[in-house]
Structure 1
Amino acid sequence: MEKITLWDDRTIPRLGFGCWAIGGPFWADAVPVGWGVVDDNESKRAIAAALDAGIKFFDTADVYGAGHSEIILGEALKGHDDIVVATKFGNQFNPDNKQITGQATDRTYIRTAVQASLKRLNRDTIDLYQLHVDDLNADAAAQAQAALEELVTEGLIRAYGWSTDHPEHAKGWLGGKNYRTVQHDLNLFTPANAMLELVNANDMISINRAPLAMGMLGGTYKIKHAFGEDDVRSGGAPWLDKMTGISSAEDAQQRLDGVRELLTVDGRTVSQGALAWIWAHNASTLPIPGFRTVKQAEKNARALEFGPLSIETMHEIDMVISGDI
């Protein structure tokens, strides 16, 4: 089983679960930014299945479902104090109407936000607290980092990271004593080499959102699948933003079909192959596929049984994705 060592010297399986989808619907004005209606009991059963499969890392955010994801995760993890919990801050929201209302990263807001997350998660300490604003100017970022170091000193969090796809921003926090992770998009269509170079050079961990390109590498949907009105994927094709260099849905489908047999080598599913590609791509990676059902949780967790793809298979996949064959 693939393993990774954390900032506090704990070693865990090299697979976490992302909890965006289990938050349920929430909105930015009229735009859906959640994954549709969810069954909270099924979400809890899925978390239990992940725990049974050995998963030790769960990533969420205060804004997912306007607080609902943290609440469900906290209830499901009651009594599991050994599990690593990561959450994020920076987006303001109204839990009553499930609306995002703005952004804030100042010291006062951070201290208020962490206390609210601790309460929803039913925890005394958050293992990893991450800035959830992709693009923040240098002065504001420095002030946020100072506040985060205070939280570590006070024991409210153990470490912090930044959820950003901009290496130039992630570099701004280097040197921070408890700055341990960068969360960014990474999948076989989006290799994120510049960010991984930064992470590797500074002995950090790369937490990988969109490892299955918002479900398009899960093997369930066709690229042109129609989603419900309360699903973030219903507005155009936002998952295409998670597939660098892909010009259209048709292009994405063609390249995915071209690697399907390679991803399923040795009996893997498509999603298990996509996760195996990430492990083979870089040793510092920790993919966090999302889930909403027990079946999804069990399938993704079983990727650990197969481990990374071979160098030969990686080369063949990369040739197809790049269009060189």
Structure 2
Amino acid sequence: MTTTRIFGRTGWKVGAVGLGCWAIGGEFTLDGRSDGWGAVDDSQSVRAIHLALELGANLFDSADAYGTGHSEEVLGAALQGRRDQAVIATKFGFTYDAERRALGAVDVSSRYIHWAVAQSLKRLKTDVIDFYQIHPGTLGDHEAEQAGEALERLVEKGQIRAWGWSTDDAAAARRMLKFPNFAGVQQELNILHDGPAMLSLCAEAGLASMNRSPLAMGLLSGKFTSASRMAATDVRGAGHPWVRHFENGVPTPQVLSRIEALRDLLTQGGRTLAQGALGWNLARSANTFPIPGFKTEEQVRDNLGALEKGPLPAATMAEIQKLLHAQTEGA
């Protein structure tokens, strides 16, 4: 079973399933609401990262926004003495107040980018960031152009190796192709929310597609029921209008029904539900790198079992497509 893929235009050989480091940032706020995943145990986070390396994952995606720097600090501590084993991806673009653990406005100016990368390098305890990404998903053309020029200069200075954009706007991403070190995107992609336009662009241009929320904010772990309720200290229960499939912290009946209908197909071949969901991402395109979040070693072990199980078979993907089409038609 092939457990690595080539990461976009870089030529790097990277584990096909990585780790998203949002949850290990701990508590912080956006627009006055919780944007984290509740309290976190840093020592447990470090153990989980070490386990991931042992199990064949080497791609770790963080952001200076996650815990207003805390996620990067934990990742940097975990990779001390192991930096050469990891591909570090992180993001910038949301200003923050680290003392209040609060995110502020969007800033992707050249001056801010040069300041932000210096802070991230310190927290990550490294001389270079492998994949540096624009975090805000929507920018004006002029803003995006200036950011691209500044990021190219960071490559020239040796502070980053390549860069990308966390966006679901394929047309906006296409405009970045002229920059030689634009190597990939980070898009929302899971069995409940496909992204065909971006995947088509990645296939055409040889970009990596890092997949945020591949388990639909945990729903595709199969651990949620109609009795589940997320606290207001958890991003899923905080009331953000952009959070899908939760209302007042409770999974919607519609999404629970859809997941139940998919369960048998996703758990074929001895897969757990999470492994099946990640196998869907891996089968969806040769360019995908799902990056499920984690807090515990148990979650890492389950998620990275998808490396051994591999992409879902073509016949299973076809059955899933038929089922999803029928659900859409019946909605």
Going from structure 1 to structure 2, the CA distance change for 1:176 and 1:223 (only over 3 Å counts) comes to: farther
Work out whether residues 133 and 163 of structure 1, in 8 Å CA contact, stay in contact via their aligned partners in 2: yes
Please list every run of 5 or more consecutive structure 1 residues that lacks an aligned counterpart in the other structure: none
The one-letter code of the counterpart of 1:18 is G
Q: Secondary structure at the match of 2:286?
A: coil
Work out whether residues 279 and 307 of structure 1, in 8 Å CA contact, stay in contact via their aligned partners in 2: yes
Work out whether residues 231 and 238 of structure 2, in 8 Å CA contact, stay in contact via their aligned partners in 1: no
Which of 116, 119, 122 aligns to 1:116? It is 119
The one-letter code of the counterpart of 2:150 is A
Going from structure 1 to structure 2, the CA distance change for 1:241 and 1:227 (only over 3 Å counts) comes to: closer
Going from structure 1 to structure 2, the CA distance change for 1:133 and 1:251 (only over 3 Å counts) comes to: same
The one-letter code of the counterpart of 1:37 is A
Partner of 1:208: 211
- Structure 1 runs (4+) greater than 4 angstroms displaced: 236-240
Q: CA deviation at 1:190?
A: 1.3
Q: CA deviation at 1:2?
A: 2.9
* Residue 287 (structure 1) aligned with residue 290 (structure 2): yes
Which of 51, 56, 60 aligns to 1:49? It is 51
Moved more, 68-77 or 232-241: 232-241
Partner of 2:21: 19
Moved more, 95-104 or 141-150: 95-104
Going from structure 1 to structure 2, the CA distance change for 1:8 and 1:181 (only over 3 Å counts) comes to: closer
* Residue 107 (structure 1) aligned with residue 110 (structure 2): yes
Q: CA deviation at 1:204?
A: 0.6
Work out whether residues 88 and 129 of structure 1, in 8 Å CA contact, stay in contact via their aligned partners in 2: yes
Going from structure 1 to structure 2, the CA distance change for 1:238 and 1:265 (only over 3 Å counts) comes to: farther
Partner of 1:181: 184
Which of 161, 169, 173 aligns to 1:170? It is 173
CA offsets per residue over residues 191-228 of structure 1, 9 Å max, x none?
A: 20011111111111101001000000011122662112
Work out whether residues 33 and 240 of structure 2, in 8 Å CA contact, stay in contact via their aligned partners in 1: no
Partner of 2:67: 65
* Residue 32 (structure 1) aligned with residue 34 (structure 2): yes
Partner of 2:267: 264
Q: CA deviation at 1:10?
A: 2.5
Work out whether residues 213 and 239 of structure 1, in 8 Å CA contact, stay in contact via their aligned partners in 2: no
What pairs with 1:231-242 in structure 2 (closer than 5 Å)? 231-236=234-239, 241=244
Q: CA deviation at 1:80?
A: 1.3
* Residue 254 (structure 1) aligned with residue 248 (structure 2): no
Work out whether residues 184 and 210 of structure 2, in 8 Å CA contact, stay in contact via their aligned partners in 1: yes
Instruction: State how far apart, in whole Å, the 2-side matches of 1:65 and 1:9 are.
Output: 31
What's the % identity of the aligned pairs? 43
Instruction: State how far apart, in whole Å, the 1-side matches of 2:60 and 2:79 are.
Output: 10
Q: CA RMSD in A?
A: 1.7
Q: Secondary structure at the match of 2:160?
A: coil
* Residue 126 (structure 1) aligned with residue 126 (structure 2): no
Work out whether residues 161 and 182 of structure 1, in 8 Å CA contact, stay in contact via their aligned partners in 2: yes
| TM-score of the pair, normalised by structure 2 | 0.93
Instruction: State how far apart, in whole Å, the 2-side matches of 1:281 and 1:5 are.
Output: 16
Aligned residues: 321
Going from structure 1 to structure 2, the CA distance change for 1:240 and 1:210 (only over 3 Å counts) comes to: same
Partner of 2:281: 278
Which of 111, 127, 135 aligns to 2:138? It is 135
Instruction: State how far apart, in whole Å, the 2-side matches of 1:55 and 1:47 are.
Output: 9
Instruction: State how far apart, in whole Å, the 2-side matches of 1:20 and 1:10 are.
Output: 23
Q: CA deviation at 1:137?
A: 0.3
Work out whether residues 245 and 252 of structure 2, in 8 Å CA contact, stay in contact via their aligned partners in 1: no
Work out whether residues 240 and 249 of structure 1, in 8 Å CA contact, stay in contact via their aligned partners in 2: no
CA offsets per residue over residues 100-159 of structure 1, 9 Å max, x none?
A: 121110000000000000000000000000000110000111001000000000100000
Work out whether residues 10 and 183 of structure 2, in 8 Å CA contact, stay in contact via their aligned partners in 1: no
Partner of 2:4: 3
The one-letter code of the counterpart of 2:204 is A
* Residue 320 (structure 1) aligned with residue 323 (structure 2): yes
Q: Secondary structure at the match of 2:192?
A: coil
Q: CA deviation at 1:230?
A: 1.1
Q: CA deviation at 1:54?
A: 1.2
| TM-score of the pair, normalised by structure 1 | 0.95
Instruction: State how far apart, in whole Å, the 2-side matches of 1:12 and 1:236 are.
Output: 35
Instruction: State how far apart, in whole Å, the 1-side matches of 2:301 and 2:242 are.
Output: 23
Q: CA deviation at 1:277?
A: 0.5
Going from structure 1 to structure 2, the CA distance change for 1:307 and 1:297 (only over 3 Å counts) comes to: same
Instruction: State how far apart, in whole Å, the 2-side matches of 1:172 and 1:58 are.
Output: 26
Instruction: State how far apart, in whole Å, the 1-side matches of 2:291 and 2:240 are.
Output: 21
Going from structure 1 to structure 2, the CA distance change for 1:223 and 1:88 (only over 3 Å counts) comes to: farther
Q: CA deviation at 1:183?
A: 0.4
Q: CA deviation at 1:29?
A: 4.0
Please list every run of 5 or more consecutive structure 2 residues that lacks an aligned counterpart in the other structure: none
Q: CA deviation at 1:236?
A: 4.3
